[in-house]
Amino acid sequence: MSVPLVECIPNYSEARRLEVVEQIMAAIQSVGDVHILDRHSDMDHNRSVITYVGSPEGVVEAAFRSIKKAAELINLDEHTGAHPRIGATDVVPFVPISGITMADCIELARTLGKRVGSELGIPVYLYEEAATTPERQNLENIRKGQYELLKEEIGVKPERQPDFGPARVTPAGATVIGARAPLVAYNIYLTTNDISVAQKIAKAVRNSSGGLRYVKAMGVMVEGRAQVSMNLTNYRHTPIARVVEFVRREAARYGEAIHHCELVGLVPQEAMVDAAVWYTQLDEFEPAQILESRLYEVMGEVGTKEELLPDFLEQLASANATPGGGSAAAYTAAEGAALVSMVGRLTLGKKKYLNVETEISEMVMKADELGERLKLAVQEDAAAFDRYMAAARMPKDTIEQQQAREDALEKATVIAIKAPAVTARLAVQVMNLALTAVKYGNINAISDGASAAECAIAGFHSAVLNVRINLKNLKNPESVANILDEIDALKVIPGQISEQIADILAERAGIEL
């Protein structure tokens, strides 16, 4: 069982007063089991980003202490800077690293948000995976109009009602807290001081304006240069090199070029390797060709989730309790997503299917994304069960210990229910993509599309079984009533998908099931 490790990357609305930033960092470091990995301060943005890791409890405590310190030292009524903000501590994301699930990080976000709202009197909005409404998943929606507009609208407009804390702001503003996957914060400086050029390029590159799928961007002035400031929210599907070349071409339209680029905070090694492979045109490159990676593998020091998955069947067959049925459900549904992607790629570029290229392209993109999410779900389900077993091993010699153990078991059981519930939802999405593959995909791969649906259906049913079996251990089933209602509503979909696919197989390929 790996040690639970969480990354936290809070953003504070201060960079110009070094003593303030140092006091905030000291608040983080005052918690014993966290480690600061990086600090990035930008004077023009007037914003500091601090990256640290630690145990779940330590990371939450460090975040709370830093939010409290920032509220004492930063007055947004006096604050100016190029970067949008609504709070002294503007945004606090939690990122699962090892031995912990996204569901765990959502709970951490809610725990911290509730405490910040009640103890510090700061309004808290939950975002990304922790969002309570679809509109609040995107940080931009919450931060619309910045602190100045929030002051006017909070407590007046219902959509501004915070998830925790009072419906009013002090000069510390509000704080946005959430859970998300790793992202790359990447800025490109242009050879111009004309901010309008950066703004036009940002509009062209960002997803919300019709640009690249996983890019958020804005144009600002930094150090006398126009800058395209970006967050790449999925560097696997929208890699750094593609973003750089897009911006380079757009800049050339205005007679400008890229002056230099910068990273804000830390970046996954995989993202940099992909960029290096693209620019060096190493089409046959394999990650195992990196000396350090190969050394670590041989020495048994590290292994990525992607490297571990090929050994999944061996792990499943072992005497260990994890991975188990929940992980198998996610793995099987991931196979379905992979088959959908295969059908799509066998269809794209074929003259016979040009009329459905838009539908197939969208299908492939979604299938790839679901496959990545389901691979993560394999690990999350195993981690959830490990967490339950750790709670079961807690001491129970005294009444206090018994109560603590019972509370930990209840919380771990909820997580163990949420993990396969997520798999069930994802499996339904794979089923629908498989239906598209069978309906529009290459006729020579139609059976693969149908097989994709069967994998997704099997994954769904297995995930539901794991939800039900874990429910038996829950003392308070009402706490997951919404999950059970959702699962019950989804149960009719596999049968509907199977019937539709059977009809299409008969019509397109003459296959009778």
Tokens 């290229």 appear where? 357
Task: Give Cα separations from 244 to 227, 247, 262, 275, 467 (angstroms).
Answer: 13, 5, 11, 10, 44
Q: What span, in angstroms and rounded, lies between the C-alpha atoms of 189 and 208?
A: 21
Q: Residue 93's CB: how many other CB atoms inside 10 A?
A: 24
DSSP 402-463: HHHHHHHHHHHHHHHHHHHHHHHHHHHHHHHHHHHHHHHS-GGGHHHHHHHHHHHHHHHHHH
d(CA 491, CA 182): 32
The strand pair at 89-98 and 47-54 is best described as unpaired
Return the structure tokens found at 208. 């919300």
Helix-helix angle 102-119:357-392, to 10 degrees: 70
Only one residue has tokens 């995930």, namely 463
Please give the single-letter amino acid code of residue 248. R
On whether the CB atoms of residues 430 and 367 are closer than 8 A, the answer is yes
Structure-token pair, residue 171: 């000069």
- C-alpha to C-alpha distances, 340 to 7, 252, 299, 371, 452, nearest whole angstrom: 33, 38, 36, 10, 6
Contact 190, 257 (CB under 8 A): yes
506 half-sphere exposure, CB direction, 13 A CA radius? 8
CA distance 27 to 36: 11
Q: Residue 404: is it exposed, middle or buried by C-beta count within 10 angstroms (0-12/13-18/19+)?
A: middle
What is the DSSP pairing of strand 184-190 with strand 225-232?
Answer: antiparallel
Instruction: From 18, 92, 17, 109, select the one nearest 56 (Cα to Cα).
Output: 109
Specify the 3-state DSSP secondary structure of 69. helix
Give the residue numbers marked as catalytic.
83
Strand partners, 261: 188
Count of residues making up the chain:
513
Q: What residues contact residue 399 under an 8 Å CB cut-off, 6+ apart? A: none
Q: Which amino acid is at 123?
A: P
Query: CA 328 from chain center: how many Å?
Result: 22
Cβ distance 83 to 48 under 8 Å?
A: no
Q: What letter would DSSP give residue 87? A: B
